[in-house]
């Protein structure tokens, strides 16, 4: 790619992502590209991707290879990782890449990891709910988390596998049983909801998308996804009808993609983007960058539920602070009340499964 083309791509990406809900300068794929060519002065960080040969795993592997905060990139799947690793490792950026395949190599893939990202498991087809994935994905997540407890008990874990509202509680229970649970280190990745809310809000409010911030709270399925457009910036004078439509589109964003893909899976590219941004925020936190704030589904006391998505301040130990919801509009209060029973059921289902 010519230097001018690269500069132009980097500028576009910088604009797209400088609008994170972070109260500091936010991680961005712009950074990932731009800083790929800068110095290697950051501390060594090993990132493992579990499910790295999949629809999300492959573009996520690419984006993590472009991230200058990563010194070692470990790509694990039950098949296909030698090819993905061979491909990605030719990119002239800092991270040393290694591919690992099958159970017997999982320990090597994980040993020494600072951050483990899990997009392993089956995606939805049209007509399915995320909860319909539970029977397959719960077992996958449970066994991967047992291995994390054994080989890298201090790593941060970014859970992408659905249903996130249940897989995060499953992971917590597995870690508790292993005696390695640290609630600050377990994150359900809800960043795609934030990415969507920002995109849809910018379109409706006719404001530059790069300037937009919208927190999304609750969980990651249907009505449990609650975008707080009353907190959106820049402020815009949208009608109640507009806010309802934006909320519904954000809640149905995953289904919109599943239907458009017509049986060929769910969001992969936008998820890889969102996953890479959230992973970058976690790495920045670990490296001591101040005021890194993103939304995530974490152990929480801000409602009566044991897990809840809200803004989280990321630091050297992971989730240093889980931020409260702040004032809500009447519409958001209603949404919060409606989501609680479903989210509670999904959390309890995960906990029950892990303890069977």
Ligand X SMILES: NC(=O)c1ccc[n+]([C@@H]2O[C@H](COP(=O)([O-])OP(=O)(O)OC[C@H]3O[C@@H](n4cnc5c(N)ncnc54)[C@H](O)[C@@H]3O)[C@@H](O)[C@H]2O)c1
Residues at the site binding ligand X, with contacts judged by CB under 6 A? 50-51, 53-57, 76-79, 119-124, 133, 137, 140, 144, 160-162, 164, 189, 192, 220, 265-268, 271
Residue facing ligand X at closest CB distance: 54
Residue listed under structure tokens 């960043």: 191
Choice between 66 and 272, CB closer to ligand X:
272
Does residue 57 belong to the site contacting ligand LMR (CB under 6 A)? Answer: no
Choice between 220 and 311, CB closer to ligand X:
220
Choice between 114 and 131, CB closer to ligand LMR:
131
Among 22, 36, 137, 266, the residue binding ligand LMR under the rule CB under 6 A is 266
Among 10, 138, 144, 257, the residue binding ligand LMR under the rule CB under 6 A is 257
CB atoms under 10 Å from CB of 58, counted, come to: 25
Q: Structure tokens of 289? A: 């960058």
Phi, psi dihedrals of residue 291, rounded to the nearest 5°:
55, 45
Q: Structure tokens of 195? A: 């990415």
Which one-letter DSSP state was computed for residue 304? S
Does residue 121 belong to the site contacting ligand LMR (CB under 6 A)? Answer: no
Residue facing ligand LMR at closest CB distance: 254
Query: Of the ranges 53-61, 69-77, 91-99, 253-261, which one interacts with ligand LMR (CB under 6 A)?
Result: 253-261
Does residue 275 belong to the site contacting ligand LMR (CB under 6 A)? Answer: no
Which one-letter DSSP state was computed for residue 105? G
In whole angstroms, what is the distance from residue 192 CA to residue 246 CA? 15
Contacts of 343 (CB under 8 A, 6+ apart): 165, 218, 219, 224, 305, 307, 308
Is residue 220 annotated as part of the catalytic site, yes or no?
A: yes
257 binds, among ligand X, ligand LMR, none (CB under 5 to 8 A by kind): ligand LMR
Q: Are 164 and 267 a contacting pair, CB within 8 Å?
A: no
Query: Of the ranges 62-70, 232-240, 254-262, 317-325, which one interacts with ligand LMR (CB under 6 A)?
Result: 254-262
Does residue 199 belong to the site contacting ligand LMR (CB under 6 A)? Answer: no
Among 68, 215, 254, 350, the residue binding ligand LMR under the rule CB under 6 A is 254
Does residue 124 belong to the site contacting ligand LMR (CB under 6 A)? Answer: yes
258 binds, among ligand X, ligand LMR, none (CB under 5 to 8 A by kind): ligand LMR
Query: Of the ranges 25-33, 44-52, 73-81, 249-257, which one interacts with ligand LMR (CB under 6 A)?
Result: 249-257
Contacts of 170 (CB under 8 A, 6+ apart): 138, 141, 142, 145, 350, 351, 353, 354
CB of 51 to ligand LMR, least distance (A): 13
263-294 core/surface letters (b: 16 or more CB in 10 A; e: else): eebbbbebbbbbbbbbbbbbbbbbeebeebbb
Among 64, 144, 156, 192, the residue binding ligand LMR under the rule CB under 6 A is 192
Residue listed under structure tokens 């790509």: 75
State the DSSP H helix or E strand holding residue 205, giving kind and residue range, or none if neither.
helix 191-205
For residue 211, give the 3-state DSSP assignment.
helix
Residues lying near ligand LMR in the complex (CB under 6 A): 123-124, 130, 162, 192, 253-254, 257-258, 266-267
Catalytic residues: 220
């Amino acid at each position: 790619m010519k230097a001018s083309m690269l500069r132009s791509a980097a500028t576009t990406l910088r604009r797209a992502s400088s609008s994170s809900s972070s109260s500091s300068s936010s991680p961005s794929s712009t950074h990932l590209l731009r800083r790929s060519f800068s110095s290697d002065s950051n501390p060594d960080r090993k990132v493992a991707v579990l499910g790295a040969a999949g629809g999300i795993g492959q573009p996520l592997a690419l984006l993590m290879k472009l991230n200058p905060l990563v010194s070692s990139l470990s790509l694990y799947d039950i098949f296909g990782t030698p090819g993905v690793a061979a491909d990605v490792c030719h990119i002239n950026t800092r991270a040393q890449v290694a591919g690992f395949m099958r159970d017997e190599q999982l320990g090597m893939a994980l040993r020494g990891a600072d951050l483990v990202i899990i997009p392993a498991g089956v995606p939805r087809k049209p007509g399915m709910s995320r909860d319909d994935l539970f029977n397959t994905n719960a077992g996958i997540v449970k066994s991967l988390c047992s291995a994390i407890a054994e080989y890298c008990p201090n790593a941060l874990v970014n859970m992408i596998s659905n249903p996130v509202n249940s897989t995060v509680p499953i992971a917590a229970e597995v870690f508790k049983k292993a005696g390695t649970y640290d609630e600050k280190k377990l994150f359900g990745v809800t960043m795609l909801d934030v990415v969507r809310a920002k995109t849809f809000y910018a379109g409706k409010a006719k404001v530059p998308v790069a300037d937009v911030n919208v927190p999304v709270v609750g969980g990651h399925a249907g009505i449990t996804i609650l975008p707080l457009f009353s907190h959106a910036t820049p402020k815009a004078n949208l009608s109640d009808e507009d806010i309802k439509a934006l909320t519904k589109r954000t809640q149905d964003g995953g289904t919109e993609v599943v239907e458009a893909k017509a049986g060929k899976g769910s969001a992969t590219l936008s998820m890889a983007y969102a996953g890479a941004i959230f992973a970058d925020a976690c790495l920045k936190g670990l490296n001591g960058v101040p005021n890194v704030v993103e939304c995530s589904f974490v152990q929480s006391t801000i409602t009566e539920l044991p897990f809840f998505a809200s803004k989280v301040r990321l630091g050297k130990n992971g989730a240093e602070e889980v931020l409260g919801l702040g004032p809500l509009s009447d519409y958001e209060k209603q949404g919060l009340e409606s989501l609680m029973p479903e989210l509670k059921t999904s959390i309890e289902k995960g906990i029950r499964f892990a303890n069977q």
